[in-house]
A = this chain, B = another copy of it.
Amino acid sequence: MVRISERMAGMNPSAIREMLKTAGPDTIAFSAGNPSPELFPAKELAELASETFLNESAAALQYGITEGWEPLRQAVKKRMKEKYSIGGEGDDLIIVSGGQQGIDLCAKCLVNEGEVVIAESPSFIGALNDFRSQNTRLVGVPMDGDGMIVDELEKVLAAEPKARLIYTIPTYQNPAGVTLSLERRKKLLELADKYDVMIIEDSPYFELRYDGEQLPTLKSMDKSGRVLFAGSFSKIIAPGIRLGFACGPKELVSKMVVAKQGQDVHTNLFFQILAEKYMTRYDLDAHIADCCRLYKAKRDRMIDGIEKYFDKRVTYNKPAGGLFLWCELPEGCSGTEFCALAAENGVSAVPGAAFDLNEDKNNRGFRLNFSLPSFEQIDEGILRLKKSIDEYLAAKLG
């Protein structure tokens, strides 16, 4: 018997990732968070790879520095600064192995075991499990249609002197799909100042905007060096290359560099080089616009189906961007029970309990992804969900 450390002893694999492994070949997957592979710029990356192997293989395959490939760092800094006012005098930027690593390293550098991380509830399971694996305590703040309810946040901050970090996905939140309003963004920053806590602004989807105005990032409004912006290439280039970045106060980023040395030395250098070439030689903004066109159409297709077929007792939101749509079953129902039934009917969705900070099995929500399935799969999957809803509500509520 191996004695596992306290922090890991109670940890189990992500329910979503396990679900993805076991789904049958005919299952329609609304459970993933995957981008649509037809959007991967494979042809462009293939050309850049051939060129890099030919001209730069000695450098591209050798050890690199932990901070990241300098031309990529500069390109990302420039783009984030010019387009989104992210990154000022007191900030630095590190290239990481996917947005997830930015979150993990930040928490490792800021939060002691036993201290508190505050997050929206429900929230991204990958981040929550990582905070759990660092032996921190999670405290949730509820959301409404304007994102995290900041008055509730203040109550939590007042009650939790060990709170060190607020983890938020302010834009197209995963799983709820909601966006934090401008007024609340300001209030959130004020509260972080007042209670002396740091913020991770996790924003892997913020450029996937389908409706509504673009709100300023928390990072761009941060006057007091409290925000780390965790960005990702997974949804705008491709996730399999594991590439992201984090921009935050220099003192924090320099510690994250040290932590990253111990975790993976540096991020795959070959794809750092490809990403830099892709950003500087092709039109990334035009590519993102293509992504937005496709995902908006898929979102609309899914919502059309929900409107047409779902029992009206099931509510849903219409996200202005991102990859996810959140549905809620009526009182007395369980998302966990429902998703098990849906899986039997050949469609996978993720039960709200997976995202719930207390892993509450009575959570009535379930999350649907619209970026990965084809239009035809969306149509068929919605019909299978309709069947599942009708069966479940009949059995549960009569």
Residues of chain A at the chain B interface (Cβ within 8 Å): 1-8, 11-14, 17, 20-21, 32-35, 37-38, 40, 42-43, 45-46, 49-50, 53-54, 57-66, 97-98, 100-101, 104, 108-113, 126, 129-130, 133, 135, 164, 198, 225, 234, 238-242, 249, 251-252, 254-255, 257-259, 261-271
Instruction: Specify which of B57, B234, B252 is in contact with A37 (CB 8 Å cutoff).
Output: B57
Q: Contact check, B63 vs A34: say whether CB atoms are below 8 A apart.
A: yes
Q: How far is the CA of A271 from the CA of B17 in the complex (A)?
A: 21
- Which chain B residue lies CB-closest to A238? B61
Shortest A43–chain B CB gap in Å is: 8
Closest chain B CB from A115 CB (angstroms)? 8
Q: Copy number of this protein in the oligomer?
A: 2
Instruction: Name the one of B63, B135, B251, B258 contacting A13, with C-beta atoms under 8 angstroms.
Output: B258
A268 to B101, CA, bound (A): 13
Contact of A2 among B12, B49, B101, B110 (CB under 8 A): B110
B261 touches A7 (CB 8 A): no
A269 touches B251 (CB 8 A): no
With A251-B1, A251-B2 as known contacts, state yes or no: A265 contacts B126, CB within 8 Å: yes
* Contact sample, A vs B, 21 pairs, CB 8 Å cutoff: A4-B255, A5-B110, A7-B112, A13-B258, A13-B261, A17-B65, A37-B59, A40-B57, A42-B53, A46-B53, A49-B49, A49-B53, A59-B240, A62-B239, A101-B264, A104-B262, A108-B133, A129-B258, A130-B261, A130-B263, A240-B269
Within the assembled complex, what's the spacing in Å between the Cα atoms of A66 and B98? 13
Please indicate the chain B residues that have their CB under 8 angstroms from the CB of A63 in the complex. 32-34, 234, 239-240
Whether B61 pairs with A5 at a CB distance below 8 angstroms is no
Chain B residues near A11: list those with CB within 8 A.
255, 258-259
